[in-house]
Amino acid sequence: MREGNHMERRSAVGLVTTLLLVAACGPSGGETAATTSTTSPAATTTAVITADTTSPTVMVTSSTTTAAPKQEAATTTTSPAPPRNLDEELSEFDDLEGFLDELDDMLGNL
Amino acid sequence: MKTMRRSIILAIVLAVTAAPAAAFAQQDTGGRDATTTSTVTDERDHRLLDELKARALQMIDHQLDALGRLRSAIGNSAHITDDHAVQLLGDISAAAADLEQLAREVEAATTVPEVWQLIRQIPGFQIGNVLAPKTHQVIASDSLVAFGGKLDRFAAKLEGLITRAEENGHDVDEAWRMLEDMNGQIAEGVRSADPVAESVIGLQADDWPDPAQSVLGAGRRDLHAAGQSLRVAFGTGKGIVEILRNLFDAASDV
């Protein structure tokens, strides 16, 4: 009987602890966990509470996920690639040659 | 005897009637000659007056055509500043109005000396000596400054490309040195061209020959020097493009 009570007390404490954890995370807890998972390889616990309005019982399910290792590309600065087409990069200056010819004509008529 | 008397009377009658008639006839012929001479002289004067007037109007039209070409040059310039265009067009309109007034005075003139006096005023407009060269120099000055601005943007673009090449591990020391030269050449060109417009735009016909001749001469020299500097700058820029092209081609071959 004492052992049964002890089991009940442990379950109640576990449930309360879980509820407190969920309450502490709040609605943004999932986001925090998700953010953490992208930046840290540590395992996190996400709790989802489903409330049944017709029943006084609160069902709590929990799952454990392990975040993927942090990607190096996200933090390392890479050198810009050389231009694929230099002529294309400089196309806005294509008219400089014609402009210069125009100036030569102008200066020749002074 | 009777016959003889009759002959003497006839002779007297003839003498009395014929002499005045001859005198009248002679007098009449002389008057007609004077009239003819006078008419010929008038016609010749009129013809000379008309020819001179036509010549004067032709000279005025020639000047008005020159003003029309200056207006077109301003209108066709993509680089002249609005202020300069307004100022030059004002000078051109004033000169055109004065020439049109002169043309009206020529048409109204009634004597050859009067027309000559009007013709002598035409060169005083100094359109070929002052207004035309100053207009062309202002347009050239503004255009060279605009070209310098475009070269500045070209140099900035090249700077970005050199930086990218350097970050990719290429040796771009020569390109950097050339870019510095290019920027110096652009600055020198703009420094020579920019003040010319302001120095010549205020010149008027009365300023010929001095100071207009020397101011326009200096403007011409500065504009040619500016053109030379900017041409060299553009050539330097093309040299930088070649260096970059070789670097990037070599990189893409790897």
| Residue range B109-153, pLDDT digits in tens | 999 999 999 999 999 999 999 999 999 999 999 999 999 999 999
The span from the CA of B251 to the CA of A79, in Å, is 14
The span from the CA of B146 to the CA of B229, in Å, is 14
Tell me the average pLDDT across B10-26. Answer: 47
pTM of the model: 0.68
Predicted confidence at residue B121, as pLDDT, reads 98
Range with the poorest average pLDDT among A97-106, B39-48, B175-184, B203-212: B39-48
Q: CA distances (Å), B213 to each of A17, B123, B204, B216, B217, in order? A: 99, 16, 11, 5, 6
Query: Angle at Cα B87 formed by Cα B85 and Cα B88, nearest 5°?
Result: 65
> What does the DSSP 8-state code read for residue A55?
S
> What does the DSSP 8-state code read for residue B152?
H
pLDDT band at B251 (very low <50, low <70, confident <90, very high): confident
Inspect the interface and report whether the beta carbons of A103 and B144 lie closer than 8 Å. yes
Predicted confidence at residue B248, as pLDDT, reads 84
Q: Which residues of A touch B140 (CB under 8 A)?
A: 103, 106-107, 110
Q: CA distances (Å), A107 to each of A94, A103, B32, B52, B194, in order? A: 21, 6, 68, 38, 14
Q: Mutation target for B interface from A77, A90, A92: give the one with most B CBs within 10 A.
A: A90
Specify the higher pLDDT residue, B91 or A21.
B91
Q: Which of A90, A100, A104 sits opposite B241 (nearest CB)?
A: A90
Reported as a single tens digit per residue, the pLDDT across B69-88 is 999 999 999 999 999 999 99
Predicted confidence at residue A44, as pLDDT, reads 40
Tell me the average pLDDT across B184-205. Answer: 98
Predicted confidence at residue A41, as pLDDT, reads 39
CA atoms within 13 Å, Cβ hemisphere of B224: 9
Q: CA distances (Å), B145 to each of A92, B133, B139, B155, B178, in order? A: 18, 18, 10, 15, 21
Inspect the interface and report whether the beta carbons of B223 and A80 lie closer than 8 Å. no
Query: Angle at Cα A14 formed by Cα A10 and Cα A16, nearest 5°?
Result: 115
Q: Residue A80: how many CB atoms within 10 A of its CB?
A: 12
Q: Which of B137, B153, B165 sits opposite A110 (nearest CB)?
A: B137
Inspect the interface and report whether the beta carbons of B224 and A107 lie closer than 8 Å. yes
Place of tokens 């300023």: B207
The crossing angle, in degrees rounded to 10, of helices B112-119 and B82-108 is 170
Inspect the interface and report whether the beta carbons of A96 and B224 lie closer than 8 Å. no
Percent of chain A with pLDDT over 70: 24
Tell me the average pLDDT across B161-190. Answer: 97
Q: Which residues of B touch A103 (CB under 8 A)?
A: 140, 143-144, 147, 227, 230
Place of tokens 């067009």: B89
The span from the CA of B149 to the CA of B155, in Å, is 10
The residues pairing with A63 across neighbouring beta strands, listed in sequence order, are A46
Place of tokens 């920019």: B194
Predicted confidence at residue B249, as pLDDT, reads 83
Written as six digits, the tokens of A67 are 């975040």
